[in-house]
Structure 1
């Protein structure tokens, strides 16, 4: 699956100050990992999917992002982690502002992508997450591809 950026995310990329700042605005952002059917777009509601965990810096602080040369990334020195909320098999993620309610929205700033052991937009050592166990993200790098207009 190719990472998908919501309409709000695309607008943020085209406007000042940019995607990283738009995600970090107000209450900051987090990386949510879900089990279940992958929504058709980052604008779509999550439907019956279940949030498995909400990744934050050191497990509690909104995430920091770096953007350079068309790449949005986790700062190398940051620790991104969470405690798994409920057990399940991870299938996709969304990088969202913390207040995002996961409903249909063309204004919410979101990045959605696949989760796998190999070949996902986010790769985990094990996609079967177990409630109350720690989960971390060692690397997070999303390339923003040039699109024909």
Structure 2
């Protein structure tokens, strides 16, 4: 699965702003699910019956939203000084994630700004040290890079 951008994110980037400003103070939600039940698009709803929220990643590891830094080489990553991490909410295997703007409810939407992709230990859109997350542990995201095609 490539990194999927929602209709809302694409329209906002084309119309009113940058990825950096649109996603300012957003969050990364990491879910467990079967591969067959991953939402087909970033516009689709999160269904708590089949998508278990395992982790929310914060800019300070506790409660602050995530911010992106300065773009270079057609890519943008974490803002300097932020420690992207969160406490695992439920044990399970990480399968996919959503990077969402503040206030996103997870409902089906063509106006919410979101990105969605796979979670892996390498070669995925979000790479973490282990897919097996354990409730109560801290999980960090040490590196982030979002790029646009040429």
Asked if Structure 1 and Structure 2 have the same fold, meaning a TM-score greater than 0.5 normalized by the shorter chain, the answer is yes
Q: Secondary structure at the match of 1:31?
A: strand
- Alpha-carbon shift at residue 70 of structure 1 (Å): 3.5
Partner of 1:15: 15
In structure 2, relative to structure 1, the CA distance for the partners of 1:107 and 1:83 (3 Å cut) is same
Contact 2:70 2:79 in 1 (8 A): no
- Alpha-carbon shift at residue 76 of structure 1 (Å): 4.4
Q: Secondary structure at the match of 1:54?
A: strand
Q: Secondary structure at the match of 2:66?
A: coil
Match of 2:114 among 101, 107, 110: 110
Q: For the aligned residues, what is the CA RMSD? A: 1.4
- Alpha-carbon shift at residue 66 of structure 1 (Å): 2.5
Q: Which runs of 5+ in 2 are unaligned?
A: none
Where is the strand percentage greater, Structure 1 or Structure 2? 1
Q: Deviations over 1:95-146 (max 9, x none)?
A: 1023211111000000111100111111111001011110110011121225
Partner of 1:32: 29
What is the TM-score with the length of structure 2 in the denominator? 0.88
What is the TM-score with the length of structure 1 in the denominator? 0.89
Structure 1 runs of 4+ with >4 Å offset: none
In structure 2, relative to structure 1, the CA distance for the partners of 1:70 and 1:8 (3 Å cut) is farther
Match of 1:49 among 51, 56, 60: 51
Range with greater deviation from structure 2 (59-68 or 77-86)? 59-68
